[in-house]
Structure formats: C-alpha cells, structure tokens
Amino acid sequence: MEVKEPDLTVNIGKLHLTNPIMTASGTFGYGEEYEDFLDLNKLGAIVVKGISVNPRCGNPPPRIIETPCGMLNAIGLENPGLEAFLREKLPRIRKYRCKIIVNILGETLDEYEILAERLENSSISAIEVNISCPNVKKGGVAFGTDAKMIYSVTKCVRQKTNKPLIIKLSPNVTDITAMALAAEEGGADAISLINTLLGMAIDIKTHKPKLANKVGGLSGPAIKPIALRMVWQVAERVKIPVIGIGGICTTEDVIEFLLAGATAIQVGTANFINPATAEDMIVGLEKYMTENKIQTISEIIHGLII
C-alpha cells in the first residue's frame, strides 16, 4: 500500500500557503538577506520588515540587548518608506515562489489607508497590520491597546484593499480576546499574535538603561508560554484563522501552537540564532506528521485535549 506524503498546505482566508511556516516581520529583513542560508522558496511566506508611508531612521543605538532566554529590541521601526520598498525591494523579492506579506505601520488612520491603497495594486500576497504604533492624534496611545481603535484601523484598511488582511496584536493589554474580536468585527481575515512584550534592562555599572530608548520589545523563548496561552484564548473565540508568534524555535514549538489553535506560525528571534530555522521546521513538521500518520495540518489544529 502506497503511503501518501503529508499535506502541509494551509489557508489563511484567501491566502493559500504550501506550509504553515512563515518568518516574522522585523526578524528576516526583506528575505533576500537570508537567501545564502536557506531555500526561501520552501517557506510558506515571508513577512517583510514593517513599512511606513515615509522613511524612518529608527532609534539611536544600542538598539538590541540579549536577555536570559530572549532579547530586547528597540529598533524604532527603521525602514526606507513605501515608495522605496515598491521601487527597490519588492521587484527583487518577487522572484521567490513563497508568498510575500507586507507588514504596514502608521501613526494615523490616514497613513494606514495610504499604505493599503498603494499596496492594493502591487504583486504582494497579503497585508499584515502592525497596530503597536502610537496614534499621534489620540495622545500617543498605541492603536493595539484599545479595542475601538483596533476596529477603526482594521475597518479603514479593509475598505482600501481586497488582499488578505492580517491584524498583528500586541500582548500589552488586559484582555487579548477583546482585541481579537474587534479586529474580526472590523473585517480582518486573520489574527497574528503576539507582538513583543514591553521590557527593560539596566546596566548595574553605569546605573543606566542598556537600551538607548530605555524600554524595548522582549522576544524569544522567554515569551513562548505567554504567546501560547494568548493564541489558545483567541483561537477559542474568533472564527477567523490565528497565526502564532512568540518564542517559536523548534518543530515541537510549532506543533504546540497548532494544537493550541493556530493555523500557521511565524518564526522570529530564532532566525538570529540559526538562519535556517524556518526550513528546518518544515522538514521536522513533515517528519512528525509521517511518523504519527497525520495526513493534513487541519488534523493537528485545535488538537489540544482539555
């Protein structure tokens, strides 16, 4: 009897992926930086570094600090801006067969609308919205910490694009499910979570913060239990797909997130440790499915027994 190879394909709304392994925004550049280390064509998708309407120079250094089981970063969303991305970056990365998802960020609803409208006619596969930015018209409160603002930004982007729309949630909130439900109501096709947790490190010799920005985003294995819990909570409440992010370093981590309800995952900090991590996970996931006689990813998703 012929044994069929496992089917690793998944769907995120209209977005069809050959496997559930993506790379997380801000940790993989624009993809081409990693092409010497792994076969990018094997990835489910690359989520490029966040793009804003205008270029951003980011925060002063030091901007990255290693912490126990993770790292703090305060890059400041440095990027070349929308027009430079469309003109210089996108044509080069379109040669890869994997899906290209663009992460967008803005400080006003108008900026999010401009980004979505310009990207609508581009060759990208989907849009992921970073809502951890401050809303400058609301006193600097981050979009992602207020359910009403999440609904508003999701709705305004939805009205400007027919591309698959993913909303990336911040974990720095009291009730993550309320934020996810607001994004779903606003028209999101999927939720990705979690973004980094706010953290700090202090130099005991100088008595100063180790980051020039004082605080930064904590990522890496240290945040995995929190991310896993939030993914499970959200996946139990929303009807749209959930993409898990946070401390995912091994195939075992991938499977945990799928069992918790994620349809796909994004690899972030682990890329800095082993640039081929994402490709290794695809191989490991296929091996796990073969050994356990699992034919499709859907047989793993929501497989948590409680």
Domain that holds residue 235: 10-299
Tell me, yes or no, whether 268 lies in a domain: yes
Q: How many domains does the chain have?
A: 1
Tell me: the pLDDT tens digits for 60-115?
999 999 999 999 999 999 999 999 999 999 999 999 999 999 999 999 999 999 99
Residue 144: give its domain's CATH number: 3.20.20.70
Q: Which residue has the higher pLDDT, 137 or 271?
A: 271
The answer to whether residue 1 sits within a structural domain is no
**Residue 142 confidence class, pLDDT cut points 50, 70, 90:** confident
Query: pLDDT for 220-278, tens place per residue?
Result: 999 999 999 999 999 999 999 999 999 999 999 999 999 999 999 999 999 999 999 99
pLDDT of residue 96: 95
Q: Are strands 70-73 and 64-67 parallel, antiparallel or unpaired?
A: antiparallel
Under the banding of pLDDT at 50, 70 and 90, the label for residue 4 is: confident
Does a structural domain hold residue 4?
Answer: no
CA 165 to chain centre: 12
Tokens of 86: 């469309």
In the DSSP assignment, the letter for residue 231 is H
pLDDT at 140 over 50: yes
Provide the pLDDT for residue 136: 59
pTM over 0.75: yes
Question: Alpha-carbon distance 113 to 255, whole Å?
Answer: 36
Query: Is 252 within the bounds of a domain?
Result: yes
pLDDT band at 1 (very low <50, low <70, confident <90, very high): very low
Q: pLDDT digits over 162-182, tens only? A: 999 999 999 999 999 999 999
Kindly state whether residue 243 falls inside one of the protein's structural domains: yes
Determine the pLDDT at residue 133.
72
Verify cis geometry, omega within 30 degrees of 0, for the bond prior to 62: yes
Assess if residue 41 is contained within a domain: yes
Per the structure block, which two tokens stand in for 181? 């439900």
Mean local confidence (pLDDT), 134-161: 85
- What DSSP string runs through 258-271? HHTT-SEEEE-THH
**pLDDT above 60: residue 159:** yes
Average pLDDT, the chain: 95
Task: Establish if 3 belongs to a structural domain.
Answer: no
Distance from the Cα of residue 61 to its chain's centroid: 24
Q: Which two tokens stand for residue 182?
A: 């607001």
Q: How far apart are CA 38 and CA 89, in angstroms?
A: 19
**Cis ω on the peptide bond leading into residue 194 (within 30° of 0)?**
yes
For the ranges 59-63, 87-91, 132-136, 149-153, the lowest mean pLDDT is seen at 132-136
Residues designated catalytic:
133
Other C-beta atoms closer than 10 Å to the C-beta of 175 total 10
E strands, 53-105, in order: 64-67, 70-73, 99-105
